[in-house]
């Protein structure tokens, strides 16, 4: 019933999120937990040591199968040990070892499916898809959903790298993009489609993955997907340099696009969807959209994209927006009571870290005094956080990434293609 209300009166729910954002304070919060310098330095030493061990282990990769099997077992045990012992996010303190193992198995299976379905995807696209699926897995944990790999959630998580790359490709004509969106629309509507290119065919298969679990006699998920498609098309206004958006228009777009995107993830969780769920997940999706925009201030500004974070890039304006993000998030979490409240608190603390690290990543838009304040709540120093980007595979050239992709494939169990 609640979802039906959303589908028929979406503006009512969006107005709730909008008002919560407007009411959120823009002063710096006084409830955050400071992290002392000794803990920061210990965390930095731990991360440096872990990264060094991982790099050395990856270099020990051997092409001989008998030696390679030993390398694989040792590498997987190393990653498992890190997950079970690290004290920065402390995931192991919020979920049991059994749940942790199931989580690892599910994510591993997901990446196997990604590599089987689209071996052409780059590391950053695999990472984007995996992050999308991890969000869904986190929601499952928050609602004590113990079901395994979800084919529909796989299809939805993969749609982002497939559609975003295509829409962002400047070499593709506007008409081709329009035709592509029409193809997606027709596939969601259940119409007969005629995908021509391999990319089009795979896009339709991803939507069919959702169809495999959700029959057409229940249109709820398809109505949500159509809303998501509408939100994405609506958000294209942010890229129109000739018609700058007002601050309120930017806010409306962020709530709509971010909110529906995350609500769909929650839909796949095997738990009844309540009205409180709808409000929470619309709000949390809006927050995640703001977090993305916070990370991309410079890039969006250079491209002329209109987001809440590029409306006024004055230090004080940006700092007040970040303060509102923290208060909005805290207020949203405080009144939401899922089955697993402890894991909700873990998501809250992780979201704080996402905000703080994103501020550091966009440091040129914030004052030195504000950055100094943010540093107080980071689990490591800002200089160290900046240095971590040097280790990102995404920052390497294609030739340097290839060996890592080969090692990734070796870590994944060999299975027949399922698509």
Average pLDDT, integer, range 95-122: 89
Residue 301 pLDDT: 93
How far is residue 60's CA from residue 49's CA, in Å, rounded to a whole number?
A: 17
Does some domain include residue 227?
A: no
Residue 390 pLDDT: 60
Within 201-337, strands assigned E span none
How far is residue 353's CA from residue 359's CA, in Å, rounded to a whole number?
A: 10
The parent domain of residue 78 ranges over 39-82
Does some domain include residue 287?
A: yes
Whether residue 352 has pLDDT greater than 80 = yes
Q: 44 and 384 in contact (C-beta within 8 Å)? A: yes
Q: Give the residue with greater pLDDT, 136 vs 242.
A: 136
The CA distances from residue 3 to 8, 20, 138, 223, in Å, are 9, 20, 21, 10
In terms of domains, do 14 and 49 share one?
no
Of 82, 98, 114, the position where a domain reaches its end is 82
How far is residue 262's CA from residue 277's CA, in Å, rounded to a whole number?
A: 11
Does some domain include residue 273?
A: yes
Of 82, 98, 117, the position where a domain reaches its end is 82
Average pLDDT, the chain: 89
For the ranges 21-25, 44-48, 85-89, 266-270, the lowest mean pLDDT is seen at 85-89
In terms of domains, do 313 and 376 share one?
yes
How far is residue 26's CA from residue 319's CA, in Å, rounded to a whole number?
A: 8
DSSP per-residue letters across 292-342: HHHHTHHHHHHHT---TTTS---HHHHHHHHHHHHHHHHHHHHT---S-HH
- 132 closest CA partner among 146, 120, 116, 150: 150
Residue 330 pLDDT: 98
Q: Calculate what percentage of the chain has a pLDDT beyond 70.
A: 91
Statement: the pTM of the whole predicted model exceeds 0.85: yes
Q: Give the residue with greater pLDDT, 83 vs 309.
A: 309
How far is residue 103's CA from residue 111's CA, in Å, rounded to a whole number?
A: 12
Average pLDDT, integer, range 86-108: 86
Residue 419 pLDDT: 47
> How many CB atoms are located within 10 Å of the residue 85 CB?
11
Residue 416 pLDDT: 43
In angstroms, how far is the first alpha carbon of the chain from the final one? 35
Confidence of residue 2 (pLDDT cuts 50, 70, 90): low
Q: 239 and 254 in contact (C-beta within 8 Å)? A: no
Average pLDDT, integer, range 325-349: 96
Residue 64 pLDDT: 66
In terms of domains, do 18 and 43 share one?
no
Does some domain include residue 153?
A: no
Does some domain include residue 338?
A: yes
Confidence of residue 401 (pLDDT cuts 50, 70, 90): low
In terms of domains, do 328 and 376 share one?
yes
In terms of domains, do 19 and 43 share one?
no
Does some domain include residue 7?
A: yes
Whether residue 417 has pLDDT greater than 60 = no
Question: Could you give phi then psi for residue 195, rounded to 5 degrees?
Answer: -65, 130
Q: Give the residue with greater pLDDT, 407 vs 49.
A: 49
Average pLDDT, integer, range 362-374: 97
Q: 107 and 128 in contact (C-beta within 8 Å)? A: no
In terms of domains, do 293 and 327 share one?
yes
Residue 80 pLDDT: 81
Residue 65 pLDDT: 65
How many folded domains does the chain comprise?
2
In terms of domains, do 295 and 360 share one?
yes
In terms of domains, do 8 and 68 share one?
no
Q: Calculate what percentage of the chain has a pLDDT beyond 90.
A: 63
How far is residue 335's CA from residue 153's CA, in Å, rounded to a whole number?
A: 27
Q: 351 and 89 in contact (C-beta within 8 Å)? A: no
In terms of domains, do 70 and 4 share one?
no
Confidence of residue 404 (pLDDT cuts 50, 70, 90): low
In terms of domains, do 363 and 295 share one?
yes
What are the pLDDT digits (tens) for 215-251?
888 889 999 999 999 998 888 888 888 888 999 999 9
Q: 97 and 105 in contact (C-beta within 8 Å)? A: no
In terms of domains, do 314 and 347 share one?
yes
- 357 closest CA partner among 383, 333, 327: 383
Confidence of residue 63 (pLDDT cuts 50, 70, 90): low
In terms of domains, do 275 and 313 share one?
yes
Residue 166 pLDDT: 80
């Amino acid at each position: 019933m609640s979802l039906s209300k959303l589908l028929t009166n979406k503006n009512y729910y969006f107005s709730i999120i909008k008002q919560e954002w407007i009411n959120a304070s823009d002063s710096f919060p006084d409830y955050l937990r400071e992290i002392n310098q000794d803990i920061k330095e210990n965390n930095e030493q731990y991360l440096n040591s872990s990264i060094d061990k991982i790099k050395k282990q990856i270099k020990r990769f051997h092409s001989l199968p008998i030696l390679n099997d030993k390398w694989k077992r040792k590498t997987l045990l190393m990653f498992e040990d890190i997950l079970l012992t690290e004290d920065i996010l402390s995931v192991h303190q919020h979920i049991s070892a059994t749940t942790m193992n199931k989580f690892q198995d599910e994510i591993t299976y997901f990446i196997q499916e990604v590599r089987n379905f689209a071996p052409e995807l780059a590391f950053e696209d695999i990472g984007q898809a995996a992050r999308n699926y991890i969000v869904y897995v986190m929601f499952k944990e928050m609602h004590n959903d113990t079901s395994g790999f979800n084919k529909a959630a796989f299809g939805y998580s993969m749609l982002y790298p497939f559609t975003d790359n295509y829409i962002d490709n400047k070499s593709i004509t506007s008409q081709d993009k329009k035709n592509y969106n029409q193809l997606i629309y027709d596939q969601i509507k259940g119409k007969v489609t005629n995908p021509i290119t391999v990319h089009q065919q795979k896009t339709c298969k991803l939507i069919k993955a959702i169809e495999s679990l959700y029959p057409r006699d229940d249109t709820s998920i398809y109505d949500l997907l159509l809303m998501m498609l509408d939100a994405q098309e609506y958000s294209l206004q942010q890229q129109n340099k000739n018609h700058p958006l007002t601050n309120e228009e930017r806010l409306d777009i962020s709530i709509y696009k971010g909110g529906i995107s995350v609500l769909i993830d929650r839909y796949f969780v095997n738990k009844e969807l309540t009205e409180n769920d709808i409000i929470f997940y619309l709000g949390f999706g809006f927050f995640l959209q703001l977090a993305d925009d916070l990370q991309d201030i410079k890039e969006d500004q250079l491209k002329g994209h209109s987001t809440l974070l590029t409306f006024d890039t004055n230090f004080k304006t940006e700092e007040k927006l970040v303060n509102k993000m923290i208060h909005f998030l805290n207020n949203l979490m405080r009144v939401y009571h899922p089955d697993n409240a402890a894991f909700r608190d873990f998501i809250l603390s992780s979201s704080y870290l996402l905000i703080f690290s994103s501020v550091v990543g966009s440091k040129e838009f914030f004052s030195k005094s504000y950055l100094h304040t943010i540093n107080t709540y980071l689990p490591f120093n800002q200089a160290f956080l900046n240095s971590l980007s040097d280790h990102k595979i995404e920052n390497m050239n294609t030739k340097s990434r290839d060996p890592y992709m080969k090692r990734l494939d070796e870590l994944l169990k060999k299975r027949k293609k399922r698509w």
